[in-house]
Structure 1
């Protein structure tokens, strides 16, 4: 089997498992909507307040939803022994890890991105801000998956690794969160927001370049340890 065909097999397998386990597929979306809708109940229905905080709420909800689904990225493969088989396969481990990250983003990050305009309308954000919301989430959620996969690889062998995963990844999420909310706030204020998007693109390129190597190293540390 060639390297690219192995990549495709892992990607199709993870997508098939995700769509077969509908609960794991729907839970992040439901959590995303619930977290976002709780903020207006807590701060009140004032339209100006909701518009000011709307971008930040959408991004924080997306971040937490991504983190919710991240703990199970490698855990099932580790528990049934297939992770060791993937490590022994002729395909590079970093490419296998990249296939699993792409699958995770397709079933988690992409639906959150497509659902974000609904929340933007709910918070009363102007239509001019919708492109910024979709664009920042489209570039930012893959980066969240890449960063989270490093932490998931390090904690895959731990019985209660979810808390440690949060402690490891949340500080690394902060630059992505700042750039995403900054772009939306600039768009709401009628200012140029493409600079924030450019920096997100730079971080995404760096993540695609170096994160797969870090993920494969973290998995080897966890499995060998």
Structure 2
């Protein structure tokens, strides 16, 4: 499983569709919002947590179709299905690789990009914590959606339509926790709800995604 993780990380870096593209999109969103909203510092500071969360969510969408599609097209997925590794483990490893290439860099970059929107000092900590807890759920849910559409040609749009409604609870609780924490209010309730979504996704969705892959490989 470690060899599979290293292989996926190398392919993601070599292809250039994960790390660089997600960060570039996140940077563009964070840069354009102040131009569109205006230079008012109070408004930018108030909407910064939500905008950063939306940007991170959309950046995660860019590389979801690459989680299984490339392996499906070159036949590697058929070989992995016959390997001694359980299919659920393969799904978990690929979701982890996606998070390491996309979710983790976005989490590290968010506090820095928050300065472009006049994010207050406590907000840098809270946006980092909420993204650190919430982005694994985005990768796991995305892996489930990618497993459902792996056999479809040009299924990227359908994948986005399937995954976006499942992303909404994580977005709501993550942005709310970051907003409350930045304002000095208690953020424990939305933070726990988001952590519960992440834990539930990691515990349940590998089995659902593995079942979808088995159906598509028949």
Match of 1:163 among 157, 176, 181: 157
1:146–1:211 Cα contact (<8 Å) kept:
yes
- Asked whether 1:83 is paired with 2:77, we answer yes
Q: CA deviation at 1:68?
A: 0.6
> What does residue 152 of structure 1 align with?
146
> What does residue 108 of structure 2 align with?
114
Alignment of 1:200-211 (within 5 A): 200-211=194-205
2:68–2:146 Cα contact (<8 Å) kept:
yes
Unpaired stretches in structure 1, ≥5 consecutive residues:
1-6
Q: Secondary structure at the match of 2:62?
A: helix
The C-alpha deviation readout for 1:105-147, integer Å capped at 9, x for no partner, is 0010000000001121111111112221111100111100000
- Asked whether 1:31 is paired with 2:34, we answer no
Q: CA deviation at 1:149?
A: 0.8
Query: Could you tell me how far apart the structure 2 residues matched to 1:189 and 1:82 are?
Result: 49
- The number of aligned residues is 218
Query: Could you tell me how far apart the structure 1 residues matched to 2:129 and 2:163 are?
Result: 22
2:177–2:191 Cα contact (<8 Å) kept:
yes
Unpaired stretches in structure 2, ≥5 consecutive residues:
none
1:140–1:204 Cα contact (<8 Å) kept:
yes
- Asked whether 1:58 is paired with 2:52, we answer yes
Query: Could you tell me how far apart the structure 2 residues matched to 1:179 and 1:195 are?
Result: 9
Query: Could you tell me how far apart the structure 2 residues matched to 1:115 and 1:108 are?
Result: 11
Query: Could you tell me how far apart the structure 1 residues matched to 2:47 and 2:124 are?
Result: 15
Q: CA deviation at 1:23?
A: 4.8
Query: TM-score, with normalisation over the residues of structure 1?
Result: 0.93
> What does residue 125 of structure 1 align with?
119
Q: CA deviation at 1:20?
A: 2.2
- Asked whether 1:70 is paired with 2:64, we answer yes
